[in-house]
């Protein structure tokens, strides 16, 4: 099934698939540079995420509610500026937007270890850094999604997303372990410093990418409000995009409700030391690596629509074994089940990312992606605050039970949608 769109030709869609050998996309210089930059910053983000949480919990003695506030701060910008960011990204050169964001993130995360070494670090600063860095990542993420179709042919989109998500998952495997070891040896703030340094590497790699972009001339631009409304209407009227936005909102609410209490759960309920917390996160992240590696095969064997349903209805519910950790089940068994759930989530993300990039016209992609992301990422601060509040009210373990149930409800949204009748997700024609 395909969808035809009226309007101007989408720039970048004319890109033909070049002949390649066994290396596939690795043979393309610009893609290699994009992959290297995002893998490096992804490793830093994985280290920095765990390190920042440990700074808050171990160094600054944050409560579960404050951990929820910290997570919410990083994602609230999607609610505040997500929609205009999509319109701006469609107006600006996307590579340059990503470069500016990388440099802003370098400064923001670099301020945390500097303040800690000077003895003036506070929770307020950590939350402010999370908020401002979240704003930078709104622009970076939207531009990144919209840039990829200009580098990669449509037929290679699944391979490209699998390689990029695979690298991200590999970074997630190594990052938590590195964060735990660095925290044990040098303190959590050193991990945040490593995160800051990786954004410089990402900026250098982006600077070497050769891509042709054709942002609209100022005379071709319309009022910002009209451009935003065009992207919102496109998502609201399309049954597939509308379904995926709602599904993403529920899934992100659940996953970030769990994330808000997971460090507290492992440290205070299960009784782990920081190094062991990093090891558990690394084991779980292996599931993400497997999900990225398997996404292409799942899509080929079952079809992209059925593969997405399989990932979310069969694999993701393994998250229900996590609350048994340290009681009815050994920690490692629960961690492996957690990893299986992450495998399903990441494989589903790869499939969905490729769908957006081959289904939406390029000249609207920033606005469409930002409109959908405002819905599903906007649920993240809600989930984080709800998870933090529940963690303080009923405890971390019951909170994980509740949020696991919400994740299952998100999967049922897909089952009740038009996707259940398809083998493959549609593509633009």
Domain of residue 146, CATH code: 1.20.1250.20
**118-171 tens-digit pLDDT:** 989 999 999 999 899 989 988 988 888 778 888 888 778 878 888 887 777 677
Domain contains 283 = yes
Split the chain (429 residues) into runs of 10 and give each run's mean pLDDT.
Answer: 31 49 75 86 76 80 80 82 86 87 93 90 91 90 82 81 76 67 74 87 88 63 79 90 92 88 83 76 79 87 92 84 80 85 88 84 81 84 86 89 90 89 83
First to last CA, the chain: 9
Distance CA 312, CA 240 (A): 16
Q: What distance in Å separates the CA atoms of residue 30 and residue 151, rounded to the nearest whole number?
A: 7
Flag whether 88 is in a domain.
Answer: yes
Q: Which structure tokens are listed for 13?
A: 């869609």
Copy the structure tokens of residue 101: 């964001």
pLDDT of 5 reads 26
For residue 12, what pLDDT is reported? 42
Q: Which residue has the tokens 């694999």?
A: 315
Tell me whether residue 18 is exposed, middle or buried, using C-beta atoms within 10 angstroms of its C-beta: 0 to 12, 13 to 18, 19 or more.
exposed
Structural domain that includes position 256: 24-214+225-428
The domain tally of the chain equals 1
In a domain, 172, yes or no: yes
What tokens does 239 get?
Answer: 């049954």
Residues shown for the chain: 429
Cβ pair 98, 206 in contact under 8 A: yes
CB-based contact 165:346 (threshold 8 Å): yes
Structure-token pair, residue 153? 């042919």
- Evaluated on CA atoms 412, 418, 423, 427, the torsion sign reads negative
The reply to whether 417 falls in a domain is: yes
pLDDT value of residue 334: 83
What is the spatial distance between Cα 135 and Cα 80, in angstroms, rounded to a whole number? 9
So what's the pLDDT on residue 285?
Answer: 75
CA distance 70 to 123: 9
- The answer as to whether 189 is a domain residue is yes
pTM: 0.71
pLDDT at 4: 29
pLDDT of residue 1: 28
Q: Give domain status of residue 13, yes or no.
A: no
Which DSSP state fits 55?
A: I
Cα angle 352-154-169, degrees, rounded to a multiple of 5: 45
pLDDT of 22 reads: 64
Q: Convert the pLDDT of each residue in 259-299 to its tens digit.
A: 888 888 888 888 777 777 777 877 787 887 788 888 888 98
């Amino acid at each position: 099934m395909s969808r035809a769109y009226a309007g101007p030709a989408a720039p970048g869609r004319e890109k033909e698939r070049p002949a390649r050998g066994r290396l596939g996309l690795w043979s393309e210089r610009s893609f290699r540079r994009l992959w290297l930059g995002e893998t490096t910053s992804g490793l830093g983000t994985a280290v920095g995420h765990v390190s920042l949480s440990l700074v808050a919990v171990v160094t600054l003695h944050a409560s579960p509610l404050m951990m929820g506030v910290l997570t919410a701060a990083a994602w609230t910008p999607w609610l505040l500026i997500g929609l205009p960011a999509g319109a701006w990204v469609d107006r600006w050169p996307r590579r340059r937007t990503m470069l500016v964001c990388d440099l802003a993130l370098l400064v923001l995360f670099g301020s945390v270890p500097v303040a800690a070494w000077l003895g003036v670090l506070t929770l307020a600063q950590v939350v402010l850094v999370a908020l401002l860095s979240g704003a930078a990542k709104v622009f970076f993420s939207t531009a990144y999604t919209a840039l990829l179709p200009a580098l990669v042919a449509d037929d290679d989109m699944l391979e490209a997303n699998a390689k990029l998500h695979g690298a991200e998952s590999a970074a997630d495997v190594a990052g938590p372990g590195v964060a735990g070891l660095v925290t044990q040896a040098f303190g959590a703030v050193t991990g945040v410093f490593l995160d800051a340094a990786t954004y410089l590497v990402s900026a250098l790699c982006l600077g070497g990418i050769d891509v042709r972009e054709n942002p609209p001339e100022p005379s071709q631009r319309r009022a910002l409000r009209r451009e935003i409304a065009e992207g919102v209407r496109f998502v609201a009227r399309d049954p597939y995009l509308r379904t995926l936005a709602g599904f993403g909102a529920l899934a992100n609410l659940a996953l970030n409700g769990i994330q808000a209490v997971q460090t507290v759960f492992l440290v205070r309920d299960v009784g782990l030391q920081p190094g062991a917390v990093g090891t558990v996160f690394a084991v779980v992240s292996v599931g993400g690596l497997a999900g990225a590696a398997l996404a292409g095969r799942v899509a080929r064997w079952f079809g992209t629509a059925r593969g997405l349903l399989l990932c979310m209805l069969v694999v993701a519910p393994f998250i229900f074994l996590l609350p048994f950790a340290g009681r009815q089940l050994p920690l490692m068994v629960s961690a492996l089940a957690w990893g299986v759930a992450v495998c399903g989530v990441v494989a589903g993300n790869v499939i969905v990312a490729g769908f957006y990039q081959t289904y939406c016209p390029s000249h609207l992609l920033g606005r469409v992606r930002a409109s959908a992301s405002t819905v599903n990422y906007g649920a993240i601060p809600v989930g984080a605050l709800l998870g933090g509040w529940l963690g303080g009210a009923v405890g971390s373990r019951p909170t994980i039970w509740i949020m696991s149930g919400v994740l299952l409800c998100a999967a049922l949204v897909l089952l009740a949608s038009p996707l259940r009748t398809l083998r493959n997700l549609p593509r633009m024609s």
